[in-house]
Structure 1
Amino acid sequence: MHTLAQLRAGQLAGIQRLQLSCGLTEFPPEIFDLADTLEILDLSDNALSTLPDDLPRLTRLRVIFCSANRFTVLPAVLGACPGLTMVGFKSNQIREVPAASLPPQLRWLILTDNRVEELPAAIGACTQLQKLMLAGNRLRALPPQLASCTRLELLRIAANQLEELPDWLLGMPRLSWLAYAGNPFSAADEQAADAATSIAGIPWERLQIGQKLGEGASGVIHQAVLQQTGGQQDVAIKLFKGAVTSDGLPRCEMTAFVNSGDHPNLIPVLGEVLGHPDGVHGCVMPLIDPGFGNLAGPPSLESCTRDTYPADKRFSVDELFGIACGIVSAARHLHQRGIMHGDLYGHNILHCGRGRSLLGDFGAASLFAPDGPHAAALQRLEVRAFGLLLEELMERCDLPAATQASLTALQAQCVSADVGARPSLEEAERLINSLRA
């Protein structure tokens, strides 16, 4: 975090990333003094409502964050910044997205938790778009021109007012991670799931909170001790961050999590937190062995949609097959129960280093009817996500030539641009298990 005093004193000359959060109501003109080097500008958590018309003077600017400000319109000047690839205006009061506000090289647009009712047809011209985050708005429909964004891989449209899931959306060639829970078209499936299951309530006073274990888009996970009759149990607690997360609604996450059922490669849920002093929602899970860690790191600003790994990360053949077999089995199990995970990523997988893996974080999960009209397309959408995970594992493993050839062929089928040509998860699981044997 930088200060306005540092900026005005010229102490930040030459920096590439500037972060200011100091109650700004106007754009500091001194920022233009950094035009020769500034690439990432973060003005989140201020009180801004406009950006200057000469913003394109920041000729090297690639990324801008203005979350938690007071914008009601996405500034049109953004579209005049030719190098801008990432725009983040989460948690403002934005109602209008002008066609002129979309930069030509846009890869990543975040408008989560605003009041947007309509997207411009011009979004179809953003042919480099890979990541579009729109959860928690008031969209009633998606513009069909979005189908022209054939590089789109991640889409968050949960917690809107969408009446249908367009057929063209599920045919997009690279779409891999989709979250749509909390819309009118999904309400019947969610209500049926809520009615079909129940979850134990765990009073807050029975929980003793310990150290923070991790944090994701939807919540923070803490270690805790659960006081029970006759003893105590070490557990983990996920406390949701707010009414709307980057992926959707905590209520929908809980519904999917509770309905996930028992599977050796899924993290189970013990109960729901009751009576938190601040009214925060949360769930209680068994404490996972500390020998487990995240398989990968989340995407970076540069990788956009792909997970990150240490440069020297390697997997043995046994580890690769252990992870791949476990995750494809868990995903297939979820699909049989009418749940699309929506975030099938390495950073949501815990791995013990010996091939055992656990898929967690249902923040982007959505429900569907297994016999419904969209069931097959939704499942093959997630097959692509599995194919990308398999590719990441293979890149970091020395496989025998014959096995490499077979897995490469399967991986290529999983990520086929023709959604209908992809194998089912059942077929993928069968082949991987045969190769493992």
Structure 2
Amino acid sequence: MHTLDQLRSGQLKGITRLDLSASLTHFPEEIFTLADSLEVLNLSGNRLSDLPEDLHRLHRLQVLFCSENRFEHVPESVGSCPNLRMVGFKSNRIRELSAGALPPRLRWLILTDNCLETLPDELGDCSELQKLMLAGNRLRDLPASLARLHKLELLRIAANQLPALPDFLLQLPSLAWLAHAGNPFAEASAPESHTPDVRWGDLHPGEVLGQGASGIIHRADWQRADGQRQPVALKLFKGQMTSDGTPQSEMAACLTVGQHPNLIGAIGRVVDHPQGEQGLLLSLVEPRFSILAGPPSLQSCSRDVYPSEWRVPFVKALRVASGIASALRHLHARGVTHGDLYGHNILIDEAGNALLGDFGAASFLPAAAPSQHGLLQRIEVRAFGILLEELLQRCEVPGEHAAQLAELVRRCQQPEVGARPGFIEIDAALAGLL
């Protein structure tokens, strides 16, 4: 994190990224002294409510973060920045997004956790847009112009007030990662869970294993009713909005899908917590597993980041792909889409055994719209096609399998959503190769 003193003294001359959190109520004019170098400007965690009209003077600016401030609108000066591609105004008080606030080269827009009730029709003119994150607003409809977003790959519309899922979204040719839980149309969609409740008094929490946007995961011992002590992972939710949706939606999905050999599945729901916190018991992952890939970067936008030198034996890659296809077949059979099928949410071991986790973007197939189920599932098929392609690019594919797998990748990613294969077919095809 940089300081105002560093900025004002000229120590930061020539930097490409500025991170400044200093309870700012006004935009420091000294930032313009960095105009010839600055590409990433992070002003999150301040008290700002506007930006200068001449923001375009930062002519090299590509990324702007203004999360956790006091904005009630996205400043129109943002739209005048010629090279701005990523804009983030998460957790403000934004009620208005005007057409003039949309930069011409916009690829990634984050407006999570605000107060938006409408979106401008002109959003559909952002032809380069790949990621659109709108969870936790007050949207009652989406403009039909979004049907023109042919490059849109990731869409987060969870926890809004949408009475129905617009059909045109399900025909977007590039859409692969969709989260829509927590809207009125989804409220009656969750089937009853048969996962047991686990009393807090039967748990003995231990060290923290990790934490994410929605909660903290501890190692714990569970004193079961049969007297046995079982090592488990205990996830305690923070109870706040994430970029994907709400912890409540994540819990409901986890409890519904239950156990599968290729899932980090839920064992039970925690009840009787002394502070009323919500929690889940999850299978404890053995230490031999590691994350398949890193999350997307500011440069890669919608694609995971793999180590440049990483290569994988073909059989291992095939086992990973087959295991994940089997897990998705299981999810879809239970009326759930994962919504975030990425390598960074997959753990693998040396043999190619794979575990899919992180249900923060999971959604239930809408009960009132059965005609949409197949298309929603095949949006996720495109995400799998991208994952399969990434794996095959990093191994030597035997000649006798190359054409078949290339065709499978093509079919999974083809722009006509309804013509993609389902996971029953994909699972069978990959299992046959193994």
Please, what TM-score do these two structures have when normalized by structure 2? 0.96
**How much has 1:234 moved relative to structure 2?**
2.7
**Match in the other structure for 2:427:** 429
Aligned to 2:76: 76
Give a deviation string over 1:5-52, Cα, whole Å, max 9, x none: 111111111111110111111111111111111100111011100001
Indicate the SS of the match to 2:64.
strand
- List structure 1 segments (4+ residues) > 2 angstroms apart after TM superposition: 195-199, 204-209, 215-235, 237-243, 270-282
Contact 1:25–1:49, Cα closer than 8 Å, also in 2: yes
SS of residue matched to 2:189: helix
Tell me which residue corresponds to 2:15.
15
Matched residue, 2:214: 218
Equivalents in 1 of 2:185, 2:115: separation in Å? Answer: 19
Pair 1:356 & 2:353 matched: yes
Is 1:254 aligned to 2:251, yes or no? Answer: yes
Query: Once the two structures are aligned, what percentage of the paired residues are identical?
Result: 55
* Structure 1 unpaired stretches of 5+: none
Unaligned runs of 5+ in 2: none
Matched, 1:132 2:118: no
- Please report how far the alpha carbon of residue 228 of structure 1 lies from its aligned counterpart in structure 2 after TM superposition: 5.5
Where in structure 2 are the equivalents of 1:83-162 lying within 5 Å? Answer: 83-162=83-162
Taking only aligned residues, the RMSD between alpha carbons, in angstroms, comes to 1.7
The whole-number CA distance in structure 2 between the counterparts of 1:401 and 1:340 is: 33
Q: Is the 8 A contact 1:212 1:221 kept in 2?
A: yes
Give 1:278 shift: 5.4
Q: Contact 1:217/1:247 (CA < 8 Å) preserved in 2?
A: no
Match status 1:65 vs 2:65: yes
1:127-161 deviation per Cα after TM superposition (whole angstroms, max 9, x unaligned) = 00000000000000010101111000000000000
Alignment of 1:368-379 (within 5 A): 368=365, 372-379=370-377
Could you say if the C-alpha distance between residues 273 and 4 of structure 1 is closer, same or farther in structure 2, counting changes exceeding 3 Å?
farther
Query: Residues 8 and 22 from structure 1, CA distance in 2 versus in 1: closer, same or farther, beyond 3 angstroms?
Result: same
Q: Alignment partner of 1:188: what SS?
A: coil
1:169-212 C-alpha deviation (Å, 9 max, x unpaired): 1000000000000101111103xx2x453541331783323033
1:408 alignment partner in structure 2: 406
Structure 2 match to 1:309: 306
Match of 1:53, SS state, is: coil
Q: Contact (CA 8 Å) 2:214, 2:240: kept in 1 or not?
A: no
Q: Kindly state the Cα deviation for residue 287 of structure 1 after the two structures are TM-superposed.
A: 1.6
Report the alpha carbon displacement of residue 227 of structure 1 after superposing the two structures with TM: 5.1
Secondary structure of 1:25's aligned partner = coil
| Structure 1 pair 395–405 and aligned structure 2 pair: CA distance change class (3 A) | same
Distance 2:180 2:253 in 1: 12
Instruction: State the Cα deviation string for residues 401-428 of structure 1 (Å, max 9, x = none).
Output: 2212210111000000011221111111
Where 2:257 maps in the other structure, the secondary structure is: coil
Match among 270, 276, 280 for residue 273 of structure 1: 270
Match of 1:324 in 2: 321
Contact 1:204 1:274 in 2 (8 A): no
What secondary structure does 1:433 align onto? helix
Give the deviation of 1:262 after TM superposition: 2.4
Letter in 1 for 2:86: M
Partner of 2:418: 420
Relative to structure 1, the CA distance from residue 162 to residue 264 in structure 2 (aligned partners, 3 Å threshold; closer, same or farther) is: same
Question: For residues 193 and 219 of structure 2, what CA distance do their matches in structure 1 show?
Answer: 30
1:234 matched residue in structure 2: 231
Amino acid aligned to 1:223 = R
SS of equivalent to 2:74: coil
Q: 1:372 to 1:17 in 2, by over 3 A?
A: same
The reply on whether 1:176 has 2:176 as its aligned counterpart is: yes
Secondary structure, aligned partner of 2:207 = strand
- Tell me how far apart the structure 2 counterparts of residues 134 and 95 of structure 1 sit (CA, whole Å): 12
CA 1:228–1:429 in 2, change beyond 3 Å: closer, same or farther? closer
Give the superposition deviation at 1:323: 0.5
User: What CA distance in whole angstroms lies between the structure 2 residues aligned with 1:236 and 1:89?
Assistant: 33
Name the SS for the 1:208 alignment partner.
strand
**Per-residue deviation, 1:430:** 1.6
Partner of residue 343 from structure 1, selected from 335, 340, 361: 340
- Does the Cα contact within 8 Å between 1:202 and 1:271 map onto a contact in 2? no
Take 1:90 and 1:28, find their aligned partners in 2: how far apart are those partners?
21
Q: 1:65 Cα deviation (Å)? A: 0.5
Q: What secondary structure is seen at the aligned counterpart in 1 of 2:395?
A: coil
Give me the whole-angstrom Cα distance separating, in 2, the residues matched to 1:53 and 1:155: 30
The question of whether the paired residues in 2 share the 8 Å contact of 1:95 and 1:115 is answered with yes
